[in-house]
Amino acid sequence: MPELPEVETAARDLAAQVIGRQIVAIEKLDWERMIETPTPAEFHALLPGRQIVAVGRRAKWLLLTLDAGWTLAIHLRMSGSVSVHPPDMPADVYTHLVLRLDDERRIFFHDTRKFGRVRLLDAAGLVLLDQRHGPEPLSETFTEEVLAALLRGRRAQLKPLLLNQAVLAGLGNIYVDESLWRARLHPLRLAASLTQREIAALYEAIRTVLTQAVQNKGSTLRDYRTGYGQSGENQHYFMVYGKTNVGQPCSRCGTAIVRLVVGQRGTHICPQCQQIYAGSTEPSGLDSPA
Catalytic residue from among 28, 207, 265, 271:
265
To the query of whether residue 28 is one of the catalytic residues in this protein, the response is no
Task: Identify each DSSP E strand in 115-181 by its residue range.
Answer: 117-121
Would residue 265 show up in a list of annotated catalytic residues for this protein? yes
- Half-sphere exposure (Cβ direction) of 238: Cα atoms closer than 13 Å: 26
Catalytic residue among 50, 60, 106, 243: 60
Contact between residue 289 and residue 258 where contact means Cβ atoms under 8 Å apart: yes
Cα 144 to Cα 198, 202, 255, 280: the distances in Å are: 11, 9, 30, 21
| Catalytic residue status for 2 | yes
Rounded to 5 degrees, φ, ψ at 2 are -70, 155
Determine whether 243 is an active site residue.
no
Exposure string for 35-71, b = 16+ CB within 10 A, e = fewer? beebeeeebeebbeebebeebbbbbbbbbbbbeeebb
Is residue 224 within 8 A of residue 197, CB to CB? The reply is no
Element (H, E) at 37: strand 35-37
Instruction: Judge whether 139 and 5 are in contact, CB under 8 Å.
Output: no
Distance CA 76, CA 93 (A): 17
**Widest Cα–Cα separation across the chain:** 61
In 3D, which of 259, 278, 261, 277 has the Cα closest to residue 269?
A: 259
Q: From residue 22, give the alpha-carbon distance in Å to each of 7, 104, 105, 192.
A: 22, 10, 11, 49
Q: Which residues are catalytic?
A: 2-3, 60, 265
